[in-house]
Structure 1
Amino acid sequence: MRIPLLLVLVALQFGSYLLFLKGFFPTKVLLSPVDLVNFKSTPPAHYEDPKPQFKKLVFMVVDALRADFMFSNDSSMELTHQLLNDGYGVGFTAYSSPPTVTLPRLKGITTGSTPNFIDAVLNIAEEDTSSTLGDQDSWIQQMSNNGWKINMFGDDTWLKLFPNHFAKVDGTASFYVSDFTIVDNNVTRHLDHELSNEGRQDWDCLILHYLGLDHIGHKGGPSSANMPTKQKEMDHIISRIFKETVLDDDETLLVVLGDHGMNEVGNHGGSSIGEVSAALSLFSSKFTKLNHNKDIKAPIEMNPDYEYFTKIDQIDLVPTLATLLGLQVPINNLGAFIDPFLDLYETEADKINVLTKNALQLKVLLDKMRGVVSTLESDIGDLKSVDNLQNYIAMAKEQLSKTSSNYNYDDINFGLAGYLATTIIALVVFLFHYRDNKLSALIDLTFFIVYAVNFFGSSMIEEEHHLWWFFTTVFLSFVALRKLRAPNRKSTLKAVSVLFIALRILKAWNNSGQKNNIKANMKISSFLSSLPSTVGPVLMACLIVSTYIPFGVLMISGYLGNDSVTTNTRFISFMSLTMLAFCSMSVKFLSYLSETFDLSQKDVDIPGWCRGYLDWLITYSATDDFNSISLILFDLFHKVWIVVFIAYLFKPLLFKALNIQSRDGNHYNDILVIISMLLINQTNFSNVPIFASLLVILESFPKLVVSKSTTYNSNLFSLFTILLQNLSFFQFGSTNSLSSVDLTNSFNGLANYNMILVGILTFVSNWGSPIFWSLGYLKLSLDSLPNDKERLAKKWDIVYNRMVFNLMFYSISGLILICSCYNLRFHLFIWTVFSPKLLYFLSWIGCSILVDCLLCCLVTAFYC
């Protein structure tokens, strides 16, 4: 009954943590129509609603269009540069506030409000409908209320946000990041009709949301070989739309923007300079009379701050669009009218009206915040002064941006109290369990507390990988020095050398962290991706193949020289392992080639044997689309893997029922290898070789352990496992920023979106190394026992020891984390640093429950 009781305690802890998060990430307080009536100020006597400048809008979103992709001298968008230089376009670098993922950013650029942090989570739940903006004011809502016909093609996030608002739609799932072309072709195929004379009569607003550039970034980074081709494709589409809708029609406005940018590894979600610096350009034949940025010509010299032309807030687009199109400014807008477009209005009175419209809308929010209604004149003074109005708008924007969220203190307090209660119970269980080994308990508790107190520092959370490198090297140095004092020092020294070399390779593969995770840092992964085509494919192929060899040796070696294993068993084991390895190696190498080289070009510079390999895949799969080939290989791997996993999981029970003798000690080795095959298959190709280092570390560590009691070894193995789980997590390139969540393998083998399967694949992709070490703990602990009889007798004790250790670790660190976030809830970095850590810690608790508890219990239950 010990383990079920622990599972109940873990469930209570998990529930308390979720309750705290529910209060910490509340729904934003929005202005209601009733508030609008109660706090609305009377317009000045001279005010007239500004006349619209445009009657039609083409709104083109290029997902993850960073400012330099459009404006810099590293950009391939030459036609767009010409439009900007000819005065038809006005360019900006638009600050997109975090979280920099699509759903919250679309909320920002349609309502003008700052998004909820929790929208970053809802962004992943593609079937979720709780984030709809159907009842909130936005320029989409304003268009719908005024009878505008809106057609939308592209990212189906728009359909989730604005149900029943579009006259014609064709949505595309946004998370199938392996596809660079189909998602965009599905948008472009509509342009022939929509831009024709007949088609233009069917819409007043045309929304196009392209996803391919974002997908290329996720798969290969901003410097991917596929990026220039995609930029040229977007460039030609912009030029086509301009020529067919804008050039000869001065009442049509074209807006092109990125919803966010991307960081140096191609991801987004956080607050790095690359992620928040999105491109924004507005095009019209009317803009030739503007004087804004006439002396600045595109392309502009590349700069590390991604600042090109004028820098504005992305939400400033909302009041600007609403005013230019003759719509009401959305009531929860926090943006300011973009200054250069004031020159579209000829008289000073018209300009005053434009700014007054913006000021009146912001004043309602200010009065609601203050609880009083005042006149605009009492707040501003001279209502006919452009400077006064602009200063007031800037002041209102600043104040309102600081007060955009509330906390639900009831949920926070109950969640905190529940977590504190489970931590106290966990401490009692922990101390009772280690009553005969108080020194180990003291060391563990000291380590837990020292680690957790770092949560009070934003920099320590951003650079947490340094903590785990320090803790791991100190721990392993202590264990190694202790072993070196024992006899047989020569063999020990060899094991120490191998372990620390493998550990250093792990550290060097991806120098992680949020502040300095740039390509300028020396990383093995970056070095491999930068190798020329004459060397890179050969080296990558060798590394991928050599990763699978030690796993194969580990599995097959258990059957060699073992007379109790039949020839059929050996053959089946060899064939199943070969099939899994072949499918996985093929798809990983194909990923490397497609993401490093532009395979759409027939004259791409790759070795002849690579071209032969690709031709063989094309022949085998009967398609020349490499995304489809990858889908076939992933699908084949998953089908074989499920059969093999079930067969090996049930093998001990089956052999026992059939009275077939087999060495039971192979069971946990087999399961470790089979699950490792899935983990490797779900890992980015550049990180595949790291698993070889993990296995070397796993095999080397037991040689450094001085045999003591089982409890002592279990504690030592638990401490080693928690250290390597976290260290390897960060050294795979992950951070505590949402931008490092890897979605590139979330659709492996899936032809359609399935929230549960996508969630599982995403979890396995990002927590692959912690899952490996959870199973590695079983191997370490069971291998430390002398024979099968001892293993069978103590297998549940081993699982229980780990569960007690993990429960105490996550209790102390989780309690200090939520106390830290509560204490720092008004800190400058609460949404960019501390809140993402809360979500990551939730995933770590989930990993502990699903893998350290449930999966290990499952494997142990079948070990007989």
Structure 2
Amino acid sequence: MSDHSRSILLAVANFLIPVAVLVFATGFFPYKPFLPGLAKFEKLEYGDPPEGQFDKVIFMVVDALRSDFVYSENSGFKFTQSLISSGEAIPFTAHATSPTITMPRVKAITTGSIPSFLDVILNFAESDTTSTLASQDTWLAQLKAKEGGKLVMYGDDTWLKLFPNTFSRADGTSSFFVSDFTEVDNNVTRHVPEELLNSDWNAMIMHYLGLDHIGHKSGPNSPNMIPKQTEMDGVVRQIYEAMEGEPHLESTLFVLCGDHGMNDGGNHGGSSPGETSPALVFISPKFKALTNGSICPMTLGQDSQEFEYYTKIEQSDIAPTLAGLLGFPVPLNNLGVFIPQFLSFWPNEADQIQILVRNARQINTIVKATFPNSDFSSISHSEGPCDGSLPSGDELACKWRRILQLLVAAEGKLDPNILLPPLVEFCKRAQDIMSSTASNYDVSRLVSGTLAAFVSVALTLLAMRHRFSQVSSTGIFLTLVIVFYCAMMFASSYVEEEQNFWYWSASAWFFYLFLFESRKEWFGNFALHPAVMLLALLRVVRRWNQTGQKYAGAPDIVHSTFLKTPFILWSLVGTTYLAITTQLGRHIARSLSDSRQGSTEHDIPDITRVVGALAVLPLGAIALFFKLSFTAKDAPELVQGMDGVLLSWIEGLSLIGLARVIFWGIAAGMVWLVVCEWRKTNAHGEQDRGGLAAGLFDFLSLFLITQTRAQNIPLYLAFRAQLFFLAHLNLTSVQITASSLLLSHVSFFALGNSNAISSIDLSNAYNGVSGYNVLAVGLLVFVGNWAGPIYWASAGSLLLGEYDGAEVIEVAENGFQVKPWVAVERARLKAETRAGQKNVQGLEKQEVEPSILFDHLALLTLFTSFSLLAVMAACTILRTHLFIWTVFSPKYLYAMAWGLAYHLGINVSWGSVMWWVSQW
């Protein structure tokens, strides 16, 4: 097979990767069907629907308001706790199902339904309008449909996207400016006094973001957390005092809740107890008639579940509860259950039963559509036990028939002691079954997407067929990595703790390199062997951040007293910036030197070195000042004890302006290097651009550091050291590819990432961006989370090229001195030369280059297509698995990012650019 044919096969294999991903995604993440229109009250034989107890609602969402933030002793919600103690507030812990991010949670709160996992993607696409709830039945739509219905909203603009043309007055704020703790909330609070005096609305929604932003930046134990809770408690006091003093607010229901919680790292999106346990408090002076109050603050007992304070309800229960309390029909697509604690508001027992009957009938409509083959109408025959021994549809049908029998037997004399328990039992059981029912997967698309991934694997193997005859220990190692990794995708625990696979694989790989290289006796000192140094550095890297599920929050270097000491942290950060700035100065100096006199670094005049250093020093200083200023606002505890004058000056700098200067400076530096190196020739009149690839790599490194949290920046010193020792191992091209692949994944997890949505870092998503731009923010989010893999993908291309600018092949008396990036050709060249088949001096450089680049991309494509195939197969086979939405679905989203953005965008596109630049 010709090189041209192999290249076509590899190109088609890479083209099939996005095809497979998108086809599979459309079958795996479909929109769930819903009933259109607004619910109407049915006429029942029991009379008119019960009157609502309230005519207005103030709905205050505090993003990421975990239950303990309100109910525990270590809480800033002191006034709210006093209302709970006095009986003027009724507390709950609302269970938020995964994915625990804002958009799907708002959908659950307002519709009472279970959102699609596709909303995870739509939540990050802020410009998306396809996820609107404009045509769905919600409690907002019901209130707006009431006579004189008018709604106002302030805060997270997710509500404006979900409910277009719904609010008479609104002021939205982007939820992705996670570095803003104050203005984003002040923009909401400033509207509160005015709106509390207005009497023209019947629903006011507020969604505060500052507490969530603090969690993302520095976790739930941040020193900013209690002050923010106290601030939110002050808003509660302001609203409650207005409810007591303003006549038009006399019959107002005040709801304080979180859309989700947060884990110990301050993030959310997964299914840990902290993420799924937001607080929910119903507040009104009227509640004094229902309860004598609850003990607050509350200490959880040893038998209590973590974060489970007071009664635990489902978040979807909010919608039918608001419907009953405000006197409108339950939304059509609701799966929530009216909270029984509020039934005593209606002294007439028939009204209590009617509220639950209407709720049950509405849920039964959805149940019958889901299980059309079950009999929900017959009440004439006797029943056996209606338990879990029956299929889900038959079990619910059995429970519903029991309710019908009881209603007929009552003959209009409704006894709550007889009817309420089976009604609640049916609603709760239906809620459980319907919430866990598998999505309406399009299995044909799942199979088609998986087959496309399989074809991609097959084409890649076919393109690499000419290499299969060259069996090597490196090839066997890579094969084992791929096989074990693919097998691991079928086990939820291994997916959650994937970082351990890469840590151990990298350790085994470096040990293999030690054995492989030790045969050459390069180093007499065992301790200084490059492979041994790589193993030692890997130990530091893997301990930097504890990630995954089992060990999340365990002791690590980032959270140690050592790195939390500002002097030590910023000494390491400063050293990292100094190292990268020094490298950049050398590249600029080389570009400024006379091309014939400065073909190597040793020939560069001292004055030129000084000019080069001075040219990049401002850029390095601005980058360091930006990170200091950014950290001082995000995590002030990391700059405590530093010079006050310096900090006050730095904090006054514009973060957006500084970031833009850095980005433009990096871009200008890259352009300068390209132009200068393009024009250079060596002493023989030949083009000499050997240092360009290394220069671009170092400018890219500065960009990656800018997109990295301050605590993780010292890791780049370890990365640089690993790159140094890799360059001193005489690796074949396949070994360089393997090292790049392994270290890409190691660095991804070492920087604090995992396979959980909650680990997505948004802290650097708005560097240099003043407003939401889906492309700019999307790029910055990707770079911020894949900074480590991008670094090692670029380093791999650099190692495959002329890393130190030396000649490609030098003929000496004692044989051949071959650079690592062509070492794979060593055996073939020697054999052909000895056989007289080819003159080495006549070997054209371009004859070697394409085969190495092809092999590099082919191996990376093989791993990517194989891993996608395994993830797709696992999601298809395990689509009814208990953890499909908490483990396997997030893993597929990450696989999409690895396959599309990282492999095609970085490995194939940027990696190829770096490769060809290194050959100029």
Provide the C-alpha distance between the structure 1 equivalents of 2:637 and 2:187, rounded to a whole number of angstroms: 21
Equivalent runs, 1:542-581 vs 2, <5 Å: 542-556=571-585, 559=590, 562=601, 565=604, 570-571=609-610, 573-581=612-620
* Aligned-partner Cα distance in 1 for 2:913–2:430: 58
- Distance in 2 between the 1:660 and 1:679 partners? 36
In structure 1, the partner of 2:646 is: 613
Encode CA deviations 1:437-464: one digit per residue, 9 max, x unaligned.
4654444223211111001100000000
> Is 1:719 aligned to residue 765 of structure 2?
no
**Higher deviation after alignment, 778-787 or 108-117:** 778-787
**Partner-residue secondary structure (3-state), 2:801:** helix
Question: Which secondary structure state, in structure 1, belongs to the residue aligned with residue 558 of structure 2?
Answer: helix
Please report how far the alpha carbon of residue 630 of structure 1 lies from its aligned counterpart in structure 2 after TM superposition.
Answer: 2.1
Q: Secondary structure at the match of 1:489?
A: coil
Q: Which residue of 1 aligns with 2:377?
A: 374
Amino acid at match of 2:764: N
Residue 323 of structure 2 is matched in structure 1 by: 322
- Structure 1 position 5, deviation (Å): 5.4
Q: Tell me if structure 2 keeps the 8 A contact 1:247–1:284.
A: no
Question: Does the CA contact (< 8 Å) of 1:580 and 1:677 recur in 2?
Answer: no
- Which residue is 1:126 aligned to? 126
Distance 2:877 2:535 in 1: 39
| SS of match in other structure, 2:508 | helix
What amino acid is aligned across from residue 74 of structure 1 in structure 2?
Answer: N
C-alpha deviation, 1:569, in angstroms: 6.0
SS in 2 for 1:525: coil
Q: Contact 1:492–1:703 (CA<8 Å) still a contact in 2?
A: no
Within a 5 Å distance, the mapping from 1:595-614 to structure 2 comes to 595-597=634-636, 606-607=640-641, 609-614=642-647
What is the SS of the residue equivalent to 2:205?
Answer: strand
Q: How do residues 267-278 of structure 1 correspond to structure 2 at under 5 angstroms?
A: 267-278=267-278
Q: 1:444 aligns with which of 447, 465, 478?
A: 478
| SS of equivalent residue, structure 1 residue 526 | coil
Whole-angstrom distance in 1 between the partners of 2:890 and 2:103: 16
Deviates more, 1:442-451 or 1:130-139: 442-451
- Report the more deviating stretch, 64-73 or 7-16: 7-16
Say whether residues 1:538 and 2:538 are aligned partners. no
Q: 3-state DSSP class of the match of 2:766? A: coil
Q: 1:331 Cα shift?
A: 0.8
1:860 and 2:909 matched: no
**Counterpart position of 1:734:** 753
- 2 CA distance for matches of 1:245 and 1:658? 85
The question of whether the paired residues in 1 share the 8 Å contact of 2:84 and 2:295 is answered with no
Does 1:61 find its partner at 2:100?
Answer: no
Give, as a single letter, the amino acid of the residue that structure 2 aligns with 1:577.
V
1:111 matched to 2:111? The reply is yes
Task: Provide TM-score, normalisation by structure 2.
Answer: 0.86
Post-superposition offset of 1:553: 4.6
Q: After superposition, where does 1:123-522 map in structure 2 within 5 Å?
A: 123-147=123-147, 148-196=149-197, 199=198, 201-246=199-244, 249-291=249-291, 294-300=293-299, 305-371=306-372, 374=377, 379-383=403-407, 384=414, 385-403=419-437, 405-437=439-471, 440-491=474-525, 493-494=527-528, 495-518=530-553, 521-522=554-555
Helix, strand or coil: the match of 2:128?
Answer: coil
2:710 matched residue in structure 1: 685
Which secondary structure does the structure 2 equivalent of 1:311 belong to?
A: strand
1:656 Cα deviation after fit: 5.0
- 1:646 equivalent to 2:671? Answer yes
Q: CA deviation at 1:313?
A: 0.8
1:8–1:582 distance in 2 versus 1, CA, 3 Å: farther
Partner deviation per Cα, 1:201-235 (whole Å, 9 max, x = no partner) = 22111011111111111111111121111111100
1:538 Cα offset (Å):
1.1
- Pick from 14, 17, 24 the counterpart of residue 10 of structure 1: 14
Q: Distance in 1 between matches of 2:53 and 2:563?
A: 49
Is the CA contact (8 Å cut-off) linking 2:53 and 2:251 kept in structure 1?
A: yes
Q: Are residues 1:590 and 2:624 paired?
A: no
Deviation (angstroms), 1:572: 5.6
CA–CA distance in 1 between the matches of 2:685 and 2:704? 31
**CA distance change for structure 1 residues 437 and 64 in 2, over 3 Å: closer, same or farther?**
same
Q: Is the 8 A contact 1:480 1:704 kept in 2?
A: no
CA–CA distance in structure 2, aligned partners of residues 472 and 682 of structure 1: 25
Deviation at 1:379, TM superposition (A): 4.1
Contact (CA 8 Å) 2:585, 2:615: kept in 1 or not? no
Q: In structure 1, how many angstroms separate the alpha carbons of the residues matched to 2:217 and 2:694?
A: 32
SS in 2 for 1:276: coil
Matched, 1:697 2:722: yes
| Deviation for aligned residue 1:487 | 2.0
Bigger CA drift: 388-397 or 308-317? 388-397
Does residue 655 of the first structure (1) align with residue 690 of the second (2)? Answer: no
TM-score (norm. length: structure 1): 0.91
Higher mean displacement: 796-805 or 636-645: 796-805
| C-alpha distance in structure 2 between counterparts of 1:450 and 1:606, whole Å | 46
Q: State how far apart, in whole Å, the 1-side matches of 2:685 and 2:141 are.
A: 70
Identify unmatched segments of 5+ residues in structure 2.
379-399, 408-413, 591-597, 810-820, 822-844
Q: Give the superposition deviation at 1:857.
A: 1.8
SS at match of 2:489: helix
- For residues 22 and 793 of structure 2, what CA distance do their matches in structure 1 show? 24
Distance, in Å, in 1 between the alignment partners of 2:913 and 2:80 is 58
Note if contact 2:403-2:422 (Cα within 8 Å) is conserved in structure 1.
no
Q: Secondary structure at the match of 1:153?
A: strand
- State the Cα distance separating 1:575 from its structure 2 match: 3.5
- Tell me: CA distance 1:661–1:636, structure 2 relative to 1, closer, same or farther (3 Å): farther
Deviation at 1:556, TM superposition (A): 4.8
1:743-784 deviation digits (Å, cap 9, x = unpaired): 010000111111100011001000000010011112222257
SS of the equivalent of 2:771 reads coil
Deviation at 1:800, TM superposition (A): 1.9
Deviations 1:287-345 (A, max 9, x none): 112237x3422254598711111111111111000111111101111111111111211
Task: Deviation per CA, 1:261-291: give whole Å up to 9, x if none.
Answer: 1111111111111111101101011111223
Which amino acid is 1:810 matched to? T
Q: CA deviation at 1:368?
A: 1.6
Change (3 A) 1:472 1:404: closer
Give distance in 2, aligned partners of 1:644 and 1:105.
45
Q: CA deviation at 1:481?
A: 2.6
Q: After TM superposition, give the deviation of residue 134 of structure 1 in Å.
A: 0.4
Instruction: Map residues 756-795 of structure 1 onto 2, 5 A cutoff.
Output: 756-783=775-802, 787-790=806-809, 793=846, 794-795=848-849
Counting matched residue pairs gives 830
Query: Which of structures 1 and 2 has the bigger CA Rg?
Result: 2
> In the alignment, what sits opposite 2:773?
754
- Does residue 527 (structure 1) correspond to residue 538 (structure 2)? The answer is no
Letter in 1 for 2:616: L
Query: Which residue matches 1:30?
Result: 34
What is the rounded CA distance, in whole Å, between the counterparts of 1:226 and 1:113 in structure 2? 34
Q: Could you say what secondary structure the match of 2:762 adopts? A: coil
SS of 1:746's equivalent? Answer: coil
Structure 1 match to 2:661: 636
Shift in Å, 1:23 = 0.6
1:824 corresponds in structure 2 to 878
User: Residue 547 of structure 1 contacts residue 692 of structure 1 at CA under 8 Å; is this kept in 2?
Assistant: yes
Match of 2:905 in 1: 850
Deviation at 1:799, TM superposition (A): 2.5
Cα distance change, pair 658–74 in 1 and its aligned pair in 2 (3 A): farther
Partner of 1:834: 888
Task: Describe the shift of the 1:663–1:501 C-alpha distance in structure 2 as closer, same or farther (beyond 3 A).
Answer: farther
Q: CA deviation at 1:143?
A: 1.4
The SS at the match of 2:377 is coil
Shift of 1:422: 1.8
- Please report how far the alpha carbon of residue 404 of structure 1 lies from its aligned counterpart in structure 2 after TM superposition: 6.0
Report how far residue 478 of structure 1 moved: 1.4
Gaps of 5+ in 1: 600-604, 619-623, 708-712
Summarize the Cα distance change of 1:656–1:485 in structure 2 as closer, same or farther, 3 Å threshold: closer
Return the offset for 1:539.
1.2
SS where residue 366 of structure 1 aligns?
helix
* Identity over aligned pairs, percent: 34
Residues 258/505 of structure 1: CA separation in 2 closer, same or farther (3 Å cut): same
